[in-house]
Structure 1
Amino acid sequence: MIGKGKSISHTRASMAYGWNQEKDAENVLKEFLHGDSPNEITKEFKMLQDQNYHCTKNTLSFVISPTIEDGKRLNKKDLQTITKRFIHEMKLGERQAIAFVHQDKDHKHIHLYVNRIDFKGVAYNDSFIGKRSQLAAEKVAEHLGLTTVKQVQFERGFNLKEIRTEIKRRHDLTMKQFKPKSFDAYLKSMEANGVKVIPSINNQKKLQGFRFEFDGHNLKGSAVHRNMTLGNIGKQISGINGASILKENKVSINLGGKIVDLTPNMALKIVKFIIKKAIQKGISY
C-alpha cells in the first residue's frame, strides 16, 4: 500500500476530481459534513477555514493505494476501514473529512480530503506530510494484513536478482554453445536462447552498449553483470579484426543489417585486449 499526502489551497477543484463519476467514484467516508457536491463540501470546509486566515493551504489531500491484487478483494466496508485507520495513524482527530474510491485502470485507490483546520480553528501541522503519509499507509497495511511497500520492494528486488542471474546464465550458455564470432552472431545466438539483445546506438551512429530484454524486464548490460558490458562481451568474441581496429581506431559492425561503428574508446579497449592475447599466444601482428 502506498500513501501520498500534501496540503492544497484549491479545495473545490481537487474535490471535484475525487467526485468524478466517470471514474466510478464511490463515497466511502463522510465525517461532519452534509453537502452532496464539491461546492457544498468546499463551503462547509471554508466555514472552519475562515477561522484561521493565516493558513492558505488549508485542505489536506491524500491518495491511499493498495496493491492491485489487494484491491481486487477489498469491498466498500474494507476501504472505509482503511480510510478510518489512515486518519487515525495520521493523528487527524475529529475533523471534517470525505473520501472517494476510484477504480479506473483496474487499480482501486482512495482520494481522501480532510479539513486542515479543526473545530477550534487550529491548523494541522503538515511538516513532512508526504513521508508521514507513507509511514501511515505502511502501518495501516501491516495492521490489516495488506501488502506493504517494503514487501513489494523486496519481491521486486528478489525477482530482479533472479532475472539477472538467468540472463547471465543464458549469456554464458550462448558463448559456450554457439561461440559467436561477431556481435551480430552474438545477438542472433542470444535470441535463440530466449534473450533479446538491443543495441544502444548514440547520435553519432556508434554502438555504445547493449540492453537485454527477458521475461518483461529490460536491463542494460552492466546492470545484469559486470562481464556483460559491451567491452567485456567484445573481449569474449574472437572474430574481430584487431589490426583494422588498431589502424583506423574504429570498426564497422553489421547488426541486423545495419552498419554501426564502435566508439574510438571501445575499439581501443578491445584491440588492446586482442593484442595482449596475441602476444600471450606468441602471435605477431
Structure 2
Amino acid sequence: MIGKVKVNQSFGAMCQYVLQEKTPDKGAEVLAAHGVRTDSAAHMATDFDAVRAMRPGLGKAVLHVALAFPAEEKEKVTNEVMGRIAQDYLRGLKIDPENTQWAVVRHYDKDKTHPHMHLVVNRVDLDGQTVSDQFIRSRSVDVCKRIEQEYGLIVADQVGRKQALEIGPTPAQAKATTPKEEQSAEWSRARQDIGRALSYTAGQARSFDELREALRPRGIEVELTRRKDGSPAGVVFEQDGHRVKGSQVGRAYSAGNLETGFAQVRELGHDPAQAWQQVGQDYALAKLAAEYGQAKGQQASKEPGKQQSRGFEMGD
C-alpha cells in the first residue's frame, strides 16, 4: 500500500476532483464520511469550510491522501475493507476520526487496474484545533507499513530492491564473471533502485530534508554538499554501501535541478486547483501500478487478523 500525501488550500477544488463530478464516466463512489454531506461537491466543500472558519489563519487546511493498492489485492481490498483502512490510517496519524471531518472516495478509472481511494481530511478538527502536518509524509510511510502487516497486504517496500531481485538480474549482473564486474553490476542495480524511488518521491518533495525523509524508509540515504552561498553543489544517494551521484541517476536528479523542482513544488502548492496537478498525481499512481505489475512473485499471503467491525457515519 502506498500513501501519497498532499496538503492543499481549496476544499472546493478537492471535493470536485474526488467526486469526479466533471468526469462522471471515470467513476467515483463515496465509501464513508464523517461530518460532511456527500450528495455533491458543493455541499461537501461548504461543510468542510464551515469548520475551517474556526482557524481563518490556516492557509492549507486540506489534507489529501491517495491510498493505492497493487492489482493483486483487488479481491481482498473490498469497499468495506477500504473504509476500515481509511479510519485506521487516520488513527495511525493521530487524527481522531470521530472528532474530525473526513471523506473517503474510491475511484474506478478504466485505465487503472489497481484499486485506489482518496481521503480528504479537514486539518481543523471539530474543537477548532489544528491537525499537525509535521513530518506527515514520513509518518504516512510508517502507518502504511503497519496497515500492511495488520491486513496481510503486499509490502510496498518489497517493490524496490527485493522486487528487482525477483524479476531477475540485470544484463550486467547476468554477464558478470569477476568480483570487479559483479561489484559494478551491483552498483548499477542500486542506481536503478534509487532512480525508481526518486521517480515517485522527488516530484512531491519541497526540500532536500523532505526528500531525505521520503527515501530513508526505502533504505536510501541522501548526502548533500553546499557552496559558500548556501546553494546546493552536489548530491549523492547511498544504498547498501553503493554511492551514486544524482547526475548519474539522471539529469533531473542533479543537486541544482532537484532544488529547482523543490521551488516549483512549493510555488504550485499555493494553487491546488490546477487541474494538471491532479493529472500528475494520477500519473504517479499509474506508475505505481506498472511497478507492481513487473513483479513475478508475490509476498506469501497472510490471513488478515480479525478486524473489529466499525460503523461508518455517512453524510446526510
* Shorter-chain TM-score tier: 0.5 to 0.7
Per the alignment, residue 147 of structure 1 pairs with 154
Equivalent residue in structure 1 for 2:37, among 34, 47, 51: 34
Per the alignment, residue 108 of structure 2 pairs with 103
Per the alignment, residue 122 of structure 1 pairs with 129
- Sort the Cα spacing of 1:68 and 1:47 in 2 relative to 1 into closer, same or farther, 3 A: same
Distance 1:14 1:154 in 2: 34
- Sort the Cα spacing of 1:84 and 1:221 in 2 relative to 1 into closer, same or farther, 3 A: closer
The answer to whether structure 1 residue 52 and structure 2 residue 17 are counterparts is no
Point out where structure 2 has 5 or more consecutive residues left out of the alignment: 178-184, 190-316
Q: Which amino acid letter does the alignment assign opposite residue 81 of structure 2?
A: D
Question: What is the CA-CA distance between 1:100 and the residue it aligns to?
Answer: 0.7
- TM normalised by structure 1 equals 0.56
Residues 211-253 of structure 1: CA deviation (Å, up to 9, x unaligned) = xxxxxxxxx99837xxxxxxxxxxxxxxxxxxxxxxxxxxxxx
Larger relative contact order, structure 1 or 2 (CA cutoff 8 Å, min sep 6): 2
Higher strand share: 1
SS state at 1:123 partner: coil
Distance 1:46 1:146 in 2: 35
Asked if 1 retains the 8 angstrom alpha-carbon contact of 2:173 and 2:186, the reply is: no
Distance 1:35 1:152 in 2: 35
- TM normalised by structure 2 equals 0.51
The answer to whether structure 1 residue 24 and structure 2 residue 31 are counterparts is no
The answer to whether structure 1 residue 223 and structure 2 residue 175 are counterparts is no
Residues 92-121 of structure 1: CA deviation (Å, up to 9, x unaligned) = 102111011113211211100011101111
Aligned residues: 176
- Sort the Cα spacing of 1:47 and 1:149 in 2 relative to 1 into closer, same or farther, 3 A: same
Q: Which amino acid letter does the alignment assign opposite residue 3 of structure 1?
A: G
Question: What is the CA-CA distance between 1:23 and the residue it aligns to?
Answer: 2.1
Question: What is the CA-CA distance between 1:134 and the residue it aligns to?
Answer: 2.0
Q: Which amino acid letter does the alignment assign opposite residue 109 of structure 1?
A: H
Distance 1:128 1:22 in 2: 36
Equivalent residue in structure 1 for 2:84, among 78, 81, 84: 81
Equivalent residue in structure 2 for 1:113, among 97, 108, 120: 120
- Sort the Cα spacing of 1:160 and 1:35 in 2 relative to 1 into closer, same or farther, 3 A: closer
Distance 1:34 1:49 in 2: 15
Q: Which amino acid letter does the alignment assign opposite residue 223 of structure 1?
A: S
- Sort the Cα spacing of 1:167 and 1:126 in 2 relative to 1 into closer, same or farther, 3 A: same
Cα RMSD (Å): 2.5
SS state at 1:98 partner: strand
Distance 1:129 1:123 in 2: 14
Asked if 2 retains the 8 angstrom alpha-carbon contact of 1:6 and 1:129, the reply is: no
Residues 126-168 of structure 1: CA deviation (Å, up to 9, x unaligned) = 0122222222111111111101222222432323553447741
In the TM superposition, structure 1's runs of 4+ consecutive aligned residues that sit over 6 Å from their partners are none
Point out where structure 1 has 5 or more consecutive residues left out of the alignment: 173-219, 225-285
Asked if 2 retains the 8 angstrom alpha-carbon contact of 1:26 and 1:100, the reply is: yes
- Sort the Cα spacing of 1:76 and 1:45 in 2 relative to 1 into closer, same or farther, 3 A: same
Per the alignment, residue 138 of structure 2 pairs with 131
Distance 1:29 1:157 in 2: 37
Q: Which amino acid letter does the alignment assign opposite residue 17 of structure 1?
A: Y
